Amino acid sequence: MAKIIAGIGTSHVPSLGAALDHGKTQTDYWKPLFDGLEPARRWIAETNPDVCIIIFNDHASAFSQALISTFAIGVAPEFQPADEGYGPRQVPVVKGDGELAWHIAESLILDEFDMTIVNEMPVDHGLTVPLSVMYDQPAEWPCRVIPVCVNVIQYPQPTANRCYNLGKAIRRAVDSYPEDLRVAIVGTGGLSHQLQGERAGLINSEFDTTFLEKLVTEPETIKSMSHTEYLREAGSEGIEMIMWLTMRGALDDQVNEIYRFYHVPASNTAYGLLVLENE
């Protein structure tokens, strides 16, 4: 049977991908952050999951205001890196797992999560930067990927509670898949940051630290936080943190914390990284 073995949380800040792509990981600015990734990279190399389910958001690449999907799942054999305005990132094509993805899509919809099913979806930094965080610069990504795209741009975003429960439904879907597969689930985005407006540059480290702690030990206490509280405390783009709750919802109630790292700044963002294992 397939099994969710671990969960990873990571910001997906695009400048991190750019620093890697342009050979700047050893500069004074970036070295502390890339050094902070090392323990997680060693862990994932040893753990080597067959499939990563990556919960991410699109940034006006595959989806625009023409069509706003709350939850979408990619079922294609592969996903091309998106052109976000300056040509696609030079990273490997993302290989999917159509059979498992369709199984999850069917299971979720029958479980009353009405997913948008996507066969054509260029994937932007929201998905490829987490892969770079985990795997550095391989010729091919070492795992198959099931992209799950969440609307975090258009209000109202799904509630934190809904995202958490989506994680639980993904867990049920994976648990009922007959093939022996080791699956990791990745929650991306955040942590506190605000890109827009007069309040641009907002960081709230106290909020981030509390969020990470509660996400590990008592996620039920943060799943009912309102949109306005996320927008106010974590910044307008910090609401991406709701996607970490999907990752957490897919894990056991009690988890082993393998690694935690927090660093300010990565460009305009507070960077967070978390590795959790089911017991």
Partner 1 sequence: MSESRDYNDIPGTYVMDGKHSRKGYHLNMFCMSLNKAENREAFRADEEAYLNTFPMTPEQRQAVLDRSWLELLRLGGNIYFTFKIAAFDRLNMQHLGAAMSDTPMTEEEFAQMMIDGGRSIEGNRSKTEAKNG
Q: Are strands 144-150 and 51-56 parallel, antiparallel or unpaired?
A: parallel
Site string for partner 1, 224-243 (x = CB under 8 A): ---xx--xxx--xx------
Site string for partner 1, 159-198 (x = CB under 8 A): ---------------------------------x-xxxxx
Q: Name which of 181, 183, 160 is nearest 244 in CA terms.
A: 160
Beta bridge partners of 261: 273
Q: Residue 79 CB, nearest distance to partner 1 (Å)?
A: 15
Known catalytic membership, residue 103: no
Contacts (CB under 8 A) with partner 1, residues 114-153: 153
Q: Residue 108 CB, nearest distance to partner 1 (Å)?
A: 26
Residue 32 touches partner 1, criterion: CB under 8 A: no
Q: How many residues bind partner 1 (CB under 8 A)?
A: 44
Q: How far apart are CA 73 and CA 58, in angstroms?
A: 12
- Which residue among 15, 116, 161, 209 contacts partner 1 (CB under 8 A)? 15
Give the three-class secondary structure for 78: strand
Known catalytic membership, residue 59: no
How far are the Cα atoms of 200, 202, 216, 266 from residue 224, in angstroms, in the given order?
A: 26, 23, 16, 28
- Which residue among 204, 215, 240, 261 contacts partner 1 (CB under 8 A)? 204
Cβ proximity to partner 1: between 64 and 90 the closer is: 64
Give the three-class secondary structure for 245: helix
Per DSSP, helices labelled H in 48-183 are 98-110, 125-135, 160-175
Please say whether the dihedral angle defined by the alpha carbons of residues 48, 45, 239 and 255, taken in this order, is positive or negative: positive
Triad 161, 162, 167: Cα angle to 5°:
95
- Which residue among 31, 42, 172, 199 contacts partner 1 (CB under 8 A)? 199
Residue 109 touches partner 1, criterion: CB under 8 A: no
Choosing from 22, 59, 103, 125, which is the catalytic residue?
Answer: 125
Q: How far apart are CA 67 and CA 82, in angstroms?
A: 17
Name residues whose C-beta falls within 8 Å of residue 155's C-beta, 6 or more positions apart in sequence. 227
Token pair of 92 as six digits: 């490997």
Token pair of 73 as six digits: 């799942």
Site string for partner 1, 240-279 (x = CB under 8 A): ------------------------xx-xx-x---------
Q: How many CB atoms lie within 10 A of CB 64?
A: 9
Cβ proximity to partner 1: between 68 and 93 the closer is: 68
Cβ proximity to partner 1: between 172 and 199 the closer is: 199
Choosing from 12, 59, 103, 193, which is the catalytic residue?
Answer: 193
Q: Could you give the residue numbers annotated as active site?
A: 125, 193
Binding interface with partner 1 (CB under 8 A): 15, 59-61, 64-66, 82-87, 153-156, 192, 194-207, 227-228, 231-233, 236-237, 264-265, 267-268, 270
